[in-house]
Amino acid sequence: MAATLTRFLALALLVAAASAQMGGRRGMRGGRPPRLPSPEEQLATMKEAGCLPEDFVDPDFSECESKRLPPMKMACIATVSGFSGNSGFDQAAAEAFIDARSSDAQWTAHQKELLSNCSSMLSEELPVEKQGLFVQLCWIQLTVGECAVQRLTATIAEVDADNAEEVATGVATMAGGHCFKKGLEYPAEATQMWENCAAESGLDVTVLMAAGAYFKMFIMGDNGLPELTADNITAVAEEFEKIEAVIDCYALASGEVSSDGTINYDTILAGIEAAEGKQPVKDAAKKIVEYCQGENPEDIGEFYDCFVEAQPYACVALRSYAIISVSPLLSNMSVLVMKLKKWKDSRPNRNTFPTSHLETWDERQRRKAALLIIYIKTLVYFSVVAMVMPPTWPYLQSLDPNASKTLVGWIIVGVPALRPVNALLVGWLLKKFSIRAVTIVSGVFILVSCAMWSTAYHAPIYGGYWLLISRFVIGFFGAEFQIGTTHVASATTKEERSTAMTILAGCLSIAYMMAPGVMSAISFVGPVGITVCGFILNMYTVAGLLGLAVYAAALGLFCFYYEESDIAVREEKLSEDVCGLVKKQETRFLSPIRANLAMEPQKADQG
């Protein structure tokens, strides 16, 4: 394996150039960036598999535990382990990190060789702060890949020692080039040529696919692996032997090789360009073709041996660059996550909240819920009041084409005209009764008003007067704003009160802005509408029914979940107690001093 890696040192530089073109693209196939287990997870897997020396010393990455996002944690580990330095990848520090892991000279020498191969894949375009992370990711993947091949070879050797190394290496190479198999989709014509050649050669692709699936389950440590048999191993080895014949057939059919055996590299490159897939994968494939061309293969079979063997190493580089390419985005995400966490920590919680000296956490939660209910009821009430105002004149005309504009004026002014009287009445009632009682009584009259507005066509009296009475009822008994301000005054602290009053006033403003839009949506029903069981449903009556339904829901919410609070009284009492205590202490300590000062003139006179 070491000799193979050394052979690809020159190739690594070509792949790095193609990989660098990935820029900020998200992964090799788009969508989410590829997920790579952390170095800790990888080392644990290799240690469990017996791929590490017996005296292997686990590195200390405790400094990076606070990093939640995997790429951020990997970057931290690259810095802690010495891979990332101020000037980019630190070869000496990385080798020192490897030396500190074991005293096994053979193992450390081989790991340093892998390290050198990965450092050769560095692109000049890669930012300095990312170079160490790239080398670390590449090194880990190559090390884990070798471990997987060693484990698979040992497993197969228990069944078929003769074919173990060949089959394990072939399956690992086939699976290692996944980024080209999944990242490039060749035209239907080329695919058909390959299938025809496979059929002629008797190649059973399902056997190779099963072998690849087995390898994937094997490296993931799946406990549900099927038992290997000698027949399985022999079948895979036979299919690998057939591939050479398939390649010769396909190369001749597609024009990649001439009848005299000359390799047509332009045709191979054109086939790659014609495939559908991400450009970085295409570029990497082209670079591999250029490299293998430079190796001067004797025939198309030797060329494809070079091409296939190079794919796993190219995929390692591409995958590492793909992960690194999303780090700016993830860095911003990390900052956002940290800010959200800081904001969450600063929010009141069960252990720390500003009113803990006045109430328990559960009381605070119920108090906040009651405030929210008051805001909702205020918003709904003023939406109901404002929603029926724009269509008042056409509604009245549909009831009586000869209706006077004086009457519509009284209908519109009914609510604000009675507000002064309403304010005095509600203020007096709130002194005598609880907020809950006053709100429920007021709410019932508001529901009656909405029902009256919806039934003007069936009123027992003149429809115009029925609308007028409806508006007078809601104007005289509607007390949402007064109730809201009273509740805010009693259920908030001095620090909270101004914000709560602003929100309450904002609910009123939002209601008046929102109501015309709601009425515009209802207008699609039309002024004629339909008749259901003798009841006319048009844009005018539906507005009243909608107000009735929404306000009934808000009133039901109030009845079940509202709870009064006297935190303002408790705060005031606590303030008075503190002031009284301060005054008492002041009197205690200052009285003797004042008495002595008062005696000074008398002593002077006696003297």
pLDDT digits (tens, 9 = 90+) for 525-565: 888 878 888 888 888 888 889 989 999 999 999 999 888 88
- Rounded to the nearest 10 degrees, the angle between the axes of helix 128-157 and helix 205-219 is 110
Q: Looking at the predicted structure, is the pLDDT value of residue 253 above 90?
A: no
Is residue 250 predicted with pLDDT exceeding 50? yes
- The predicted pLDDT at position 28 comes to 40
Neighbours of 542 (CB within 10 A): 19
* pLDDT at site 83: 84
Cβ–Cβ contacts within 10 Å for residue 186, how many? 17
Read off the pLDDT of each residue in 311-337 and give the average, rounded to a whole number.
Answer: 64
What local confidence, expressed as pLDDT, does residue 552 receive? 94
- For residue 26, what pLDDT is reported? 38
Q: pLDDT-derived band of residue 121, with 50, 70 and 90 as boundaries? A: confident
What per-residue confidence (pLDDT) applies to 53? Answer: 85
User: Which one is predicted more confidently, 84 or 323?
Assistant: 84
Q: Which residues pair with 535 in a beta bridge?
A: 532
Top-confidence range, 273-277, 317-321, 520-524, 553-557: 553-557
Q: What is the pTM of this model?
A: 0.49
- Nearest Cα to Cα of residue 169 among 188, 152, 186: 152
Region of poorest pLDDT, from 163-172, 396-405, 550-559:
163-172
| Contact by Cβ (8 Å): 478, 381 | yes
- What pLDDT is recorded for position 1? 38
Q: Give the lowest-confidence range in 8-12, 121-125, 427-431, 497-501.
A: 8-12
Banded pLDDT at 581 (limits 50, 70, 90): low
Strand, helix or coil for residue 185: strand
Tell me, what DSSP letter sits at residue 56? P
pLDDT band at 3 (very low <50, low <70, confident <90, very high): very low
Return the pLDDT at 307.
Answer: 82
Residue predicted with more confidence, 503 or 126: 503
pLDDT band at 578 (very low <50, low <70, confident <90, very high): low
3-state secondary structure of 28: coil
- Measured in residues, the chain has a length of 607
CA 563 – CA 438 distance, rounded (Å): 14
The answer to whether the beta carbons of residues 293 and 265 sit under 8 Å apart is yes
Element (H, E) at 313: helix 300-325
Alpha-carbon distance of 574 to 577, in angstroms, equals 5
pLDDT, the chain, mean: 79
Residue predicted with more confidence, 586 or 283: 283
The separation between CA 570 and the C-alpha centre of its own chain, rounded to angstroms, equals 42
Closest CA to 140 of 104, 201, 94, 103: 94
Per-residue confidence band for 287, with pLDDT thresholds at 50, 70 and 90: confident
- Rounded Cα gap, residues 100 and 114, in angstroms: 16
Q: What is the mean pLDDT of residues 119-139?
A: 79
- Of 543, 501, 502, 537, nearest to 522 by C-alpha is 543
How many other CB atoms are there within 10 angstroms of residue 518's CB atom?
18
The pLDDT score that the predictor gives to residue 248 is: 83
Domains observed in the chain: 2-333 (no CATH), 361-565 (1.20.1250.20), 577-607 (no CATH)
Task: Report how far residue 391's alpha carbon sits from residue 526's, in angstroms, rounded to the nearest whole number.
Answer: 12
Question: What is the tens place of the pLDDT at every residue in 406-416?
Answer: 888 888 888 88
As a 3-state breakdown, the chain gives helix, strand, coil percent values, each rounded to 5, of 75, 5, 25
Select the highest-mean-pLDDT range: 2-6, 331-335, 435-439: 435-439
**Whole-angstrom Cα distance, residue 198 to residue 304?**
16
Residue 375: pLDDT band (50, 70, 90) is very high
- How does DSSP classify residue 349? -
CA proximity to 306, closest of 22, 10, 21, 19: 10
Q: Which two tokens stand for residue 483?
A: 């109730």
Q: Which of 22-26, 163-167, 325-329 has the lowest mean pLDDT?
A: 22-26
Residue 329 pLDDT: 46
SS3 annotation, 241-290? HHHHHHHHHHHHHHCCECCCCCECHHHHHHHHHHCEECHHHHHHHHHHHH
Per DSSP, the residues of 402-442 read: T--HHHHHHHHHHHHHTHHHHHHHHHHHHHHS-HHHHHHHH
- 360, 364, 365, 370: CA torsion to nearest 10: 140
pLDDT, tens digit (0-9, with 9 covering 90-100), for 10-54: 344 344 444 444 443 434 444 444 455 566 677 777 777 778 888
pLDDT digit string, tens, across residues 333-348: 445 555 666 666 667 7
DSSP 458: G
Secondary structure tally for the chain: helices H, strands E: 26, 6
pLDDT band of 207, cuts 50, 70, 90: confident
Position 373 pLDDT exceeds 90:
yes
Strand partners, 551: none
Flag whether pLDDT at 574 surpasses 90: no
Dist. CA 450–CA 515, nearest whole Å: 15
* pLDDT above 90 as % of the chain: 9
